Structure 1
């Protein structure tokens, strides 16, 4: 598995940041490359909720079914793949005062083996760093704008 870790601070309360990330309908608004994030079944949040995701990275479209495998309100959301490209993302939230939150993500993925996996790796790897940076910047901007409107 390849791990990419990143953390940043947002000028918004932990409740605002967590609620925004926990809302599946906002994922295509802030997650770089995600064009679809569709609930599967009756649960749309919390432990056991499942989603079908489509992510476009460069010329490749990657599909994956994800399940929430760890969920503690205002603390952590972890999603792990059930099918498709093997991946997981763990979002951790730390309160840094009344109106600031430290957010960290650990994104891990494993491409298939063989020639197809190597070819996909050459396409995907250059985009991953850009995707994480863009995701963090968009996410931070969105939650800070929401908090500013509510305040």
Structure 2
């Protein structure tokens, strides 16, 4: 099982950062490779919310998968479980860091490649997963700061 974890400072308080991240309509703006998402029923926020997500694997291969929020604590944690051809979990954690700042921790767990070419594919899959999570975390941080109207040190933008 592969595991990746990144943490970064965000120039916004936890409640603002969490409010932006939990709104599924913002997903395509910060989720790496995602080109669209739509709710698959009610609820459309919080624990049990499920979304149909369209994305481009490696930037070129169009895929569709479902994503369910399987862990949710307001202003603290959002955990997504991806199901379908691409599967694994992505967890976003939000912690206060001081006045108008917070820490965003992004984690991903994914199964290793299976089958005949598993040993050959393990390295490239790990590299691609790390790159995708880093890009997602970086975009989310920038989008939260733009949403809140501040930059990394909390100044009014």
TMscore range, shorter length: 0.7 to 0.9
Matches of 1:86 and 1:118 in 2, distance apart?
A: 19
Name the TM-score, length of structure 2 as normaliser: 0.82
- The residue that corresponds to 1:8 in the other structure is 8
Structure 2 residues not aligned, in runs of 5+: 151-155
Choose between structure 1 and 2: higher helix proportion.
Answer: 1
Following superposition, the deviation at residue 42 of structure 1 comes to 2.0
Following superposition, the deviation at residue 128 of structure 1 comes to 2.2
Following superposition, the deviation at residue 10 of structure 1 comes to 0.3
Q: Is the 8 A contact 2:106 2:137 kept in 1?
A: no
Count of equivalent residues: 151
Aligned CA RMSD, in angstroms, stands at 2.5
- The residue that corresponds to 2:115 in the other structure is 114
1:42 aligns with 2:42: yes
- The residue that corresponds to 2:144 in the other structure is 143
Matches of 1:63 and 1:121 in 2, distance apart?
A: 23
Q: Is the 8 A contact 2:11 2:102 kept in 1?
A: yes
